[in-house]
Amino acid sequence: MSFASDYLQLDVMRSLDHIKKVDGVVNNAGIAIIKPFEELSEEDFDKTFSINAKAVFNVSQMMASRMPNMGGSIVNVSSLASLRSFQGHCVYSASKAAVDSITRSLALELGPRNIRVNSVNPTVILTRMGRENWSDPAKAKPLLDNIPLHRFGEVSEVVDAIIYLLSDKSSFMNGHSLPLEGGYCAC
């Protein structure tokens, strides 16, 4: 896994050679291997953590060096699964909890340079993958019954939250994990 990560880091650095200043970064890469704990392999664990957590660390480190001391914003796309437990989500949840921990640590370390770091933590969002995985009403109903808005989120709702966190309108938000879950956590 680190071999692939090294190539990714090299490719990213090459593509950024001409970019001298970065104001905002969104770490959105992710993978979800959902299966019972006893069926998960070491490869499942390594792949999930490499994509979901290590990539956030690597890209943030590369981009922070290009952010000016006058500020910037990093937004990490995490998951509600980092804040709540779901059946079959052991490794996925742990990897997204790592993203939230990285978010808080970077907020502390980069804050003195006026670089804010936050995460968004959506529940099911109706991306192509979300529509495929949650199209079965029997599967979706138990989760929807626990969401007071009785629906899953739209991509535009996550995008709006990310844009807000990148903007100066959130200039005093740093180190937060923002649940986007239609009220699920209120239940």
Out of 7, 35, 54, 92, the active site residue is 92
The CA angle 59-61-63, to the nearest 5 degrees, is 65
Which residues are bridge partners to 179 per DSSP? 121
Q: Phi then psi for 47, rounded to 5 degrees?
A: -65, -45
Q: 92 catalytic, yes or no?
A: yes
Are 122 and 28 in contact, with CB atoms under 8 Å apart?
no
Instruction: Name the catalytic one among 54, 96, 164, 184.
Output: 96
Q: How are the residues of the chain apportioned to helix, strand and coil, as percentages rounded to the nearest 5?
A: 55, 15, 35
Per the annotation, the verdict on 47 as an active-site residue is: no
According to DSSP, the residues that pair with 24 across neighbouring strands are 73
Give the separation between CA 152 and CA 132, rounded to whole angstroms.
13
Catalytic residues: 92, 96
